[in-house]
Chains A and B, each alone.
Chain A
Amino acid sequence: MIFSSWVFAVFLAVVFSAYWALPLRRGRHIFPLLASYAFYMSWNAWLVVLIVGSTLLDYCVGRALEVSERPRRRKALLALSVAGNLGILGVFKYADFFIVSLRGLVRAAGYDGNLDTLGLILPIGISFYTFQTMSYTIDVYRRRIEPTHNLLEFALFVAFFPQLVAGPIVKAREFLPQLAERKRFEWGRIETGVVLFMVGLTKKILIADNLALLVDPVFADPASFVTRDLWIAMFCYGGQIYCDFSGYSDMAIAVAGVLGYDLPRNFASPYLAVGMSDFWRRWHISLSTWLRDYLYIPLGGSRGGRLLTYRNLMITMLLGGLWHGASWTFVIWGGLHGLALIVCKLWTGIRDKSDRTGPDAPLFARAARSFLPWCLTLLTIHVAWVFFRCQPMTLSDGVTVESTSAALARAGSFVKHLFVPTTVEAPSWIPDKPAMLALLCLMGAMQLYNEWTRRGRPRLVLPAPIAGVSYAAWIVALVIFSADNVTPFIYFQF
């Protein structure tokens, strides 16, 4: 049941109507919890056992931490929670990856590696809700929040359907207090939610799904395309993944908003970032802050000198890459970002010593100072996306038909031919280039407007009749120009 489907529209209409019709505060927790479980079970009914298990584990650990004062016991309880959640993640998401990798190593060493994979299906959203519940127990352990005594509220925090399957990863200290508040129906929230949902829907079905039509054939066989088309496909994929994921996040925030809850923003115009650190403050913000708070800082952060800082950055980004999927291509993608972050830190150190452009410098000089780094940042991000996109090919029933090394070779060939012109005798060609470029411009305009309002500039407010006509035109454009294919959200596979 994806957000851009008619089935979800019916589901949301029922949930919304019933939710606000319920007079009791308790009813407004039980009902969305049951709706959330029903939402999750629409993918696979049995997988709800995992999420209930994770919920019960961390609720009990939280309560136990509350009454435990001995440091060893507290550490043991924390370890239980982390091991339990990472165990679920490890078994369902990474077991086959490690088995296949081990098998490859054994065979490379000349031995007969007949290790069978487990063949477990990947529970949807597992990477998100396990991280979410771990953040709760870690914060309780660190005494940053008081553990909740309300299992119902905690279960709703874990399973709340707008953010259950693809984030944003919500921290308990941001969400649990909202559950204690009495919710009132506000037309302002509904209006904001509807507009934000339409923005998300536009990003998903108008931009991302249409860009996918161009991107997929090129990434399936990059050797058949000329260099110019590889560049176009690379930037189109960057547009696709941004619009797909941020569109989902927008819809999740909108749906939560109309039910009276505020979810954290997950994207802040990432392709306007100047420098890789800036990019990670703007892209998948909930994951990057989770990695910063629960991995990078505990490793030492930037407190241990330059080399240790670089080590911590690389470990964080490698694991961040692995979080996205059980494949070496994701690890390489994370490693590229880690390397880019290290290079940016080195460059920043050199530049700060030599730069003479101050706040009184001409606008041109200040803009020029940012333009080249922005271009390099954009290029780095998109070249890394090539590895993110070039996963081993699988069929619709999940059977893998391409080895990891072949996928890596495909990615490497793609990147190589970005800079070394291809010599294809009868190249394939990308149709609809003007349309794709128009979609990228639309995406760029949306990011620029988002950045404009994020910096406190006034929002565009049209006179009411013109706003109404604009909305009608928007809806008609969405209906007519949305892609014919319905693709699942990219981040559902994580």
Chain B
Amino acid sequence: MPPSNANHRRVIIVATTVLGLVAVDRLVVSLDPELASYDTRLNLHAFYRKPAALRERPMPDVVLMGSSRAALALVPDVFEAGTGMTTYNAAVASSQTGEWQALARRLFSERRPQLVVIGVNAGEFWSNYAPRNGAAFLFDFGELSEACLREGRCPMLIGPYIARRIGDFWATFHRRHELKMYGFERFARFLPEHAERSRSQRRRLNRPTPRDGYEHPAAAGRHAGNLQYAMGAGVLGARDREQAGRFDADATAFARFDELIVFLRDAGIEVIVAYLPNSPVTEHRWLGVEPPIIENLHRLCRAREVRFVNCYDAPLARSNREYMDEVHVGPELGRRISAYIVDQTGRSGFASGGDPRIAGTLTGGLEAP
């Protein structure tokens, strides 16, 4: 084919390809309301749902933050019953200190709670901390750049960040998962298994957000069994062993956590840090690294005059049977841990309706002044 004809052909191909993509994009945009019901970001514990719901509600007195450990272990109605203060669980899965910083900046810039309780665990303070998938959803370009400079390469961050930015202007890419689910349900006759999965996912995602942001999968009937049972089957022990890391007092996770506390204090928000314990089998395996991490966290809190509640050493009877897996508590244990935190902070003092910083004069525990 002569060069001019070949170039002419290429131009037509490129032009029709682009036109085709634009046409599909327009179609996807028109279907957006239906597609949105398959959006996995609507998952309760994902990065979008709970913070978004919090923004649309009156700011509670107490906001509970942390990762999935805190999402299950910090039970708002226990805090409310013990303190009389409205409480919301804004903890999100797959988050660590960098993500908590970003969330705090976004949630508390204009409206502020009286108190933030941060549930932490050693698994969020390993020496090789780097922002992960949740940060890719949350971080803006400045935060991404800061993470790359502080934590070095962030391979789990840059790719998803780029994908998110592409999704901002390419609707088909942005809704690729939803299009698949939507298509499966529409072609249920030919793909019954896929259609059923899409249907269940849509129903699960579109449940209303609990008033207090809290839902335990076991209590909601979506998780059966416990750690003791799983250990008998020989499954979870191998998987969780890979989470053990190293302690480094200079790790960026600690520095970021310190910055978070400073940010909250400077915003006039009282802070309580609660160390959430792992299952006994994990504690045994992390015996060399967990205590120094706890001690370092305690030291940071002391330096910033922030109350630290150590549930690791608490007189709370815990068994592997009360854990869903090696690091996530079951519903009953979550309530006991939350009650312990309320009780401990009640001793040092915070009271409903008043400025927590003057509540040190109180000697009571759970009674309202």
Contacts and interface: CB of A to CB of B under 8 A. Distances in A.
Contact of A401 (B7, B153, B238): B238
B20 A480 contact: no
B16 A469 contact: yes
Contacts of B14: 468
B194 interface: yes
A395 interface: yes
Interface in A470-489: 471-473, 475-476, 479-482, 484, 486
Interface string B238-281: 11011000000000000000000000000000000000000000
A467 interface: yes
A435 B192 CA distance: 12
Contacts of B242: 395-397, 399
B7 A472 contact: no
A7 B160 CA distance: 9
A108 B87 CA distance: 63
B368 interface: no
B158 A468 contact: no
A395 B17 contact: no
Contact of B193 (A6, A432, A475): A432
Given A42-B153, A465-B12, A468-B15, A475 B180 contact: no
Contacts of B13: 464, 467-468, 471
Given A6-B163, A476-B21, A484-B177, A468 B16 contact: yes
A396 B239 CA distance: 9
B172 interface: yes
Contacts of B180: 480-481
A5 interface: yes
Judged by DSSP, the binding face of B is helix
B209 to A, nearest CB: 24
A479 B191 CA distance: 20
B26 interface: no
A431 interface: yes
A468 B16 CA distance: 5
Contacts of B7: 187
Contacts of B238: 395, 401
A434 interface: yes
Interface string A1-30: 100011101100000000000000000000
B150 interface: no
A472 B10 contact: no
A458 interface: no
Nearest to A465: B16
Contacts of B158: 6-7
Interface in A425-477: 431-432, 434-435, 464-465, 467-469, 471-473, 475-476
A216 interface: no
Contacts of A473: 20
B369 interface: no
A293 interface: no
B287 interface: no
B17 A471 contact: yes
Interface residues of B, number: 38
B24 interface: yes
A191 interface: yes
A328 B46 CA distance: 43
A472 B12 CA distance: 13
A362 interface: no
A6 B12 contact: no
Contacts of A187: 6-7, 10
B16 A472 contact: yes
A188 B241 contact: no
Interface string A180-216: 0000000110010000000000000000000000000
A5 B16 contact: no
Interface string B56-69: 00000000000000
A468 B17 contact: yes
A477 to B, nearest CB: 11
Interface string A278-306: 00000000000000000000000000000
Interface string B26-53: 0000000000000000000000000000
A191 B10 contact: yes
A468 B12 contact: yes
Contacts of A472: 16-21, 23-24
A452 B222 CA distance: 52
A471 B14 CA distance: 9
B81 interface: no
B16 A7 contact: no
Contacts of A484: 177
Contacts of B15: 468
A395 B10 CA distance: 48
Contacts of A468: 12-17, 19-20
Contacts of A42: 153
Interface string A380-403: 000000000000000111010100
B225 interface: no
Interface string A60-76: 00000000000000000
Going nearest first, the 8 A-B pairs with the smallest beta carbon separation are A468-B16, A472-B20, A464-B12, A6-B162, A395-B242, A471-B17, A468-B17, A468-B13
Interface of A: 1, 5-7, 9-10, 42, 187-188, 191, 395-397, 399, 401, 431-432, 434-435, 464-465, 467-469, 471-473, 475-476, 479-482, 484, 486
25 contacts: A1-B155, A6-B158, A7-B159, A7-B162, A10-B162, A187-B6, A188-B6, A191-B10, A395-B241, A395-B242, A396-B242, A399-B241, A432-B193, A467-B13, A468-B19, A471-B13, A471-B16, A471-B17, A472-B17, A472-B23, A475-B17, A475-B21, A476-B21, A476-B24, A480-B179
Given A6-B162, A431-B193, A480-B176, 6 more contacts: A1-B155, A187-B7, A465-B16, A469-B17, A475-B21, A479-B176
